[in-house]
Structure 1
Amino acid sequence: MATKKTEGTEKKEGGSKLALAAALVGAAATGFYLYGAKGTENRKKIKAWTLKAKGEVLEQFEKKKELTEEQYNEVVDKITTKYGKLKTVGEEESSKLNKELKRHWSAIKKSIK
């Protein structure tokens, strides 16, 4: 990972790149979902909890300097399980979001490199 020397100290710059990459992938996926071919239909279906859950996933990645697929899946599982326990969401909807978020790993991995 790249390091930056500043008057005798070293700083790692990878964490901010990772957070930016994750945010860009999330924004692109959300943009396509809302404004793609079936955007009008999807905007009617979208629920506030999905956006909040995606935001929580992104927050977790901002704290990490490096990210593996295993770590990504653990965070996604933890957050979607939490929302699945809510009566207003349910396990079925939570499971759909879990699968959707996990499908984005390959794009996130490419943007990290």
Structure 2
Amino acid sequence: MGLDMYLYLQEKETQEVIEYSYYRKFNALQGYFVRKYEIENCGKIKISNETINDLYLTLNEVRHSPEKANLLMPVFPGPFFGSYEYDRIYHNYINQAACDFYHAKFINYDKYDLYYTSDW
């Protein structure tokens, strides 16, 4: 049991689903989507270019100014959501997500949609 989060692509024509990225207990990312979209468990959000850019900029700022993590990308409490510390694990997730959202800027959105979903 725990918080599992996925970014996945869905091919527009065939509806084929391709896993893009996976996070386990990265509660700060879940908190971002809950605050922005008020999603519930197993909610599915189509991610816009605006959200991709916003998240990338926020994650990158946390990478370069880790002392601002609690303000920019705060941990988010929930059942089995993992650690609430701003430690090495938290910053590893920040780095991974920053890379994922950077690369998401270059997806062919004429062919694919990008979605976020989570389950706990």
TM range (shorter): 0.3 to 0.5
Q: TM-score, normalised by structure 2?
A: 0.33
Greater radius of gyration (CA): 1
Q: Which has the higher contact order (CA 8 A, sep 6+)?
A: 2
> Which structure shows the higher helix fraction?
1
> Which structure shows the higher strand fraction?
2
Q: TM-score, normalised by structure 1?
A: 0.35
